[in-house]
Amino acid sequence: MKVVAVANQKGGVGKTTTALNLSAALALRGQRVLLIDLDPQANTTSGLGIECDGEGTVYPALLGQATVREKIIPTGRDNLSLIPSHMDLAGVEIELARGDDHLTRLRTHLQGLKPNDLFDVCILDTPPSLGVLMTSALAAADEILIPLQCEWFGLEGLAKIVHVIDQIRESGANSELSLEGIVMTMFDGRTNLAKQVVDEVRNYFPEALYRTVIPRTIRLGEAPSYAKTIFEHDPTGIGANAYSNLADEFLTRHAAVGPVLA
């Protein structure tokens, strides 16, 4: 099971949209996907039409009161399972910070899932902050996927998250954490600014940058209000096409992490 954290400490960059729709696209390709919502705002959870209370989240597992496996629920979509979130998850930041091993608890739980061969990919949707939940996710992940908005401020956020990756490695919490890729989001091909930002990222991170860019489209923004993925809401639109291409590129990079259905 490959554990991928979708992370950026800057909000409004398409992080949850990417975590949700990349997970859905991989599931449609036969990958067994576990999506974990670590953001107390619970947008991934509500975007799938799922309601949750505080006990249904990863909270009890992180406090040693349950296992991660006990919190996994079906989403009603083939190959896609979820550990949901709830606003109460914000409280775990305070409780976890009291323990010396707070950075490695999630990692320990997810490592325990790997021998069971239940999933091919685990995607972590992280909160837009540098708190305990974000750093726990980075300590637990094999790789980080960074969604980056096509604006100049996004470049500042990229420098910060790359610095955090280095800190996680150097701390010993996860020395093997790698930058899996950077996905440019909210791309508007009509503007020179968007193209300039993509070019700038390509100059600095040529290997990490995905060829696929996610366009700015109202359909991606409105899909969660219908509790649908983009493939359910607008399956033939440019948003669905972009996330389909992103999933294909992801699988090519990983030489497929599990069985792929034609």
Question: Distance (Å, rounded) from C-alpha 181 to C-alpha 255?
Answer: 15
pLDDT at 259: 53
**What number is the average pLDDT over the span 48-63?**
88
In this prediction, residue 256 carries a pLDDT of 54
Q: How far apart are CA 191 and CA 69, in angstroms?
A: 46
- Residue 246: band (very low, low, confident or very high) from pLDDT cuts 50, 70, 90: very high
> Is 208 in contact with 179 (CB distance < 8 Å)?
yes
Q: Which of the pair, 178 or 262, is modelled with greater confidence? A: 178
Mean pLDDT within 31-47: 96
Q: What is the pLDDT of residue 261?
A: 46
What number is the average pLDDT over the span 2-26? Answer: 94
- pLDDT for res 9: 84
Q: Could you tell me the two tokens for 246? A: 């992103």
Q: 37 — phi, psi (to 5°)? A: -90, 105
As assigned by CATH, the class of the 2-253 domain is alpha beta
Q: Tokens 């992940």 identify what position?
A: 141
Query: Can you tell me the distance from the alpha carbon of 159 to that of 54, in angstroms, rounded to the nearest whole number?
Result: 34
- Assess whether pLDDT exceeds 80 at residue 96: no
172: number of Cβ within 10 Å: 10
Q: State how far the Cα of 247 lies from the Cα of 26, in Å rounded to an integer.
A: 6
| Predicted confidence (pLDDT) per residue in 172-226, tens digit | 889 999 999 999 998 887 778 888 889 889 988 899 999 999 999 999 999 999 9
CA dihedral of residues 219, 7, 158, 166 (deg, nearest 10): -170
pTM above 0.75, yes or no: yes
- The strand ranges marked E within the chain are 2-6, 33-37, 73-77, 80-83, 121-125, 143-149, 178-185
The two beta strands, 33-37 and 80-83, are parallel
Q: In angstroms, rounded to a whole number, what is the distance separating the alpha carbons of residues 96 and 132?
A: 7
Instruction: Name the packing angle between helices 132-140 and 105-113 (round to 10°).
Output: 40
The percent of residues in the chain predicted with pLDDT above 90, rounded, is: 58
Q: How is the chain split into domains, by residue range?
A: 2-253
